[in-house]
Amino acid sequence: MQDFDVIIVGGGAAGLMCAAQAHRRGCRVLVLDHAEKVGQKIRISGGGRANFTNRDVTPTNFLSDNPRFCVSALMRYPPAEFIALVDQHDIAWHERDHGQLFCDGSAQQIIDLLLREADGVTVQTATNITAISKSDRFTVATDRGDFTAVSLVIATGGPSIPKMGSSGFGYTIARQFGLNVIKPRAGLVPLTFDGEMLARLDGLSGVSLDATVTLGKVRFAEALLFTHRGLSGPVILQISSYWREGDSILIDLLPGTDVFQYLKQAREAKAKKEVRTVLAQILPNKLAHKIADWTNCNGRLADTPDKALRRLADQVNAWRVTPDGSEGDRTAEVTVGGVDTRELSSKTMEARNVPGLYFIGEAVDVTGHLGGYNFQWAWASGHACGQFV
């Protein structure tokens, strides 16, 4: 049986960051991961270029049942700290819309950075944990031997993208030690429709445009994409983290354009034009024709009364739809929910009632918006934990 000061279960972004910080403080650290290689989700992120943080991180970019929990860690390790680390390792990067930062090269560069920072840490991959127990120390039994440590850090993430080997293992450990888990659900995921709505949208798969989507008090404005299952694109992924079964979402397919006024003015200047032809000047052609069909506005503008134009405009500027589900963990980029943060110290990430047990990263009920925020939470929570384990 091998003994360490700290055992970290999970070799992803949060786990490796925590390992590096703890080792720097002189701790003997072991990282265990069931995958063949560490950093699997980092490797595929950002289209293989790793959207490693966002310049514009604020607590409002995160969801949680306890929304103030993330503030402490994010303030102590802001994006500028990780950007400086990337620069220190001579990794070239660029900024895209909305403050998103990506490597110019491969996401592997971020994994290599973390491994260099964690040089001296024992990293053991392809290892399956069979049991975890605690007396005066934690004992982690695996198919490659047993290990003990004073501190145990759970950095296993959530069950999103199971093809990468992800699971709800961290939640199982939390429950084993009496911690509450906020019910997990898929986040940053495409939304799906029932057969009736899909038939209505037939032929629109692949059509995209900028839109705003509103759910309650939450609103996002980004690209929307029609798919053969429903709706996707950044704006849908964003709103999906807030969406619950039965919720309707309100979509403006032409933000900034009052379609009713546009068509009324067009009727005065182009009365003989068909409604769908004029609408296709401001919407993708397939979508314009489909909306004209939905609202029975298939004739000339001159023959279309205000009431009909209003009905059509509402389908563009205020299209209310009720998804019947999402594509689930299979394609979800993150998991919403997780270990209840009321059970943890926001300063150290330690379980309040289980000394030496810590939870960080996606396993915790803190979920970021699309655009590098979840990586920043991984860096910040891993850094915070690594100062105290």
- The model's pTM is 0.95
Question: What whole-number percentage of the chain has pLDDT above 70?
Answer: 99
Q: What is the mean pLDDT of residues 106-125?
A: 98
What pLDDT score was predicted for residue 32?
Answer: 98
What's the CA gap between 232 and 229, in Å, rounded? 9
Query: Same structural domain for residues 27 and 173?
Result: yes
Res. 115 pLDDT band, cuts 50 70 90? very high
Q: What confidence tens digit (pLDDT) does each residue in 3-48 have? A: 999 999 999 999 999 999 999 999 999 999 999 999 999 999 999 9
Q: 147 with 91, same domain? A: yes
Q: Convert the pLDDT of each residue in 41-72 to its tens digit.
A: 999 999 999 999 999 999 999 999 999 999 99
The residue type at 72 = S
pLDDT for the residue 162: 75
Domain ends where: 300, 326, 352? 326
Q: What is the pLDDT of residues 278-292, one digit of tens each?
A: 999 999 999 999 999
Cβ–Cβ under 8 Å, residues 302 and 272: yes
pLDDT of residue 166: 74
pLDDT value of position 159: 87
pLDDT at 345: 98
pLDDT band for position 137 (cuts 50, 70, 90): very high
Quick one: pLDDT band at residue 160, thresholds 50, 70, 90? confident
Residue range 191-220: average pLDDT?
97
Are 180 and 128 part of one and the same domain?
yes
What amino acid occupies position 383?
H
More confident residue, 36 or 270: 36
pLDDT band, very low/low/confident/very high, at 331 (cuts 50, 70, 90): very high
Which of 277, 309, 326 represents a domain boundary (last residue)?
Answer: 326
Do 29 and 148 share a domain, yes or no?
yes
CATH of the domain at 15: 3.50.50.60
State the average pLDDT for the chain: 96
Per the structure, the count of domains in the chain is 2
Is the pLDDT score of 77 beyond 90?
A: yes
Do 152 and 47 share a domain, yes or no? yes
Q: Give the sign of the dihedral formed by CA 81, CA 86, CA 87, CA 89.
A: positive
DSSP codes joined into one string, 248-305: -EEEESSTT--HHHHHHHHHHH-TTSBHHHHHTTTS-HHHHHHHHHHTT--SBGGG--
Paired with 31 in beta bridges are: 8, 123
**pLDDT the model gives residue 163:** 72
SS (H, E, C) 343-365: HECCCCCEECCCCCEEECHHHEC
If asked whether residues 151 and 92 sit together in one domain, one would say: yes
Q: Name the domain boundary from 302, 326, 350.
A: 326
> Which CATH number belongs to the domain containing residue 194 in this structure?
2.40.30.10
CB neighbour list of residue 63: distance below 8 Å, 6 or more residues apart: 187, 241, 242, 336, 366, 367, 368
Whether residue 121 is found in the same domain as residue 182? yes
Write the pLDDT tens digit of every residue in 313-327.
999 999 999 999 999
Are both 77 and 215 inside the same structural domain?
Answer: no
Residues 69 and 23 in one domain: yes
Q: Give me the domain span that covers residue 29.
A: 2-186+330-386
Q: What local confidence, expressed as pLDDT, does residue 167 receive? A: 81
Same domain for 9 and 129? Answer: yes
| Residues 132, 11 share a domain | yes
Average pLDDT over residues 102-131: 98
Q: Are residues 120 and 79 in the same domain?
A: yes
